[in-house]
Copies of this chain bind each other. A is one copy, B any other.
């Protein structure tokens, strides 16, 4: 919170943040659809009417939260891919960053949140194809497949434990060399 702002501005920022924090908590507990504006207000020290000075619906709160999350997530998810000099490095970077984030954030990070990074991933795949790391292929389909596989494995790691490094290696190999028997 920037304390150099005039007091009025600072309070407004705080109230806005109060509502966002409450929204995050409430959505996490009840799910977006089950949550109501009232629930959000109640999780706040503010009065009911005040909500409408900042947002016009819970949908707007969700969008703001998603942006917050995406802007924190996307750089983390994209880490290491730009510098990859082989396809293996690229895939390893992707999978290990997903596994790391999932471990870090637990159930508070859903597949929907990972989608925030889907376009980045596809763009990076296109670039990688350009650099010759991968053969020419359907990068959109590949990006979707990578994300789904990463999510599936990450879920199992979180629920049943396991070594992220090993998992990274296995799933990297799956995409690198395909499914055919040796």
Contacts and interface: CB of A to CB of B under 8 A. Distances in A.
Contacts of A145: 145-146, 148-149, 152, 174-175
A90 to B, nearest CB: 9
Interface stretch (A17-25, A39-47, A127-135): A127-135
Contacts of A176: 178-180
B140 A152 contact: yes
Interface of A: 33-34, 87, 91, 132-135, 137-138, 140-149, 151-153, 156, 170-171, 173-182
Contacts of A174: 137-138, 141-142, 145, 178
A179 B141 contact: no
Main secondary structure of the interface of A (DSSP, over half): helix
B87 A170 contact: no
Contacts of A137: 170, 173-174, 179
Of the listed residues A138, A148, A156, the one surrounded by the most CB atoms of chain B closer than 10 A to its CB is A148
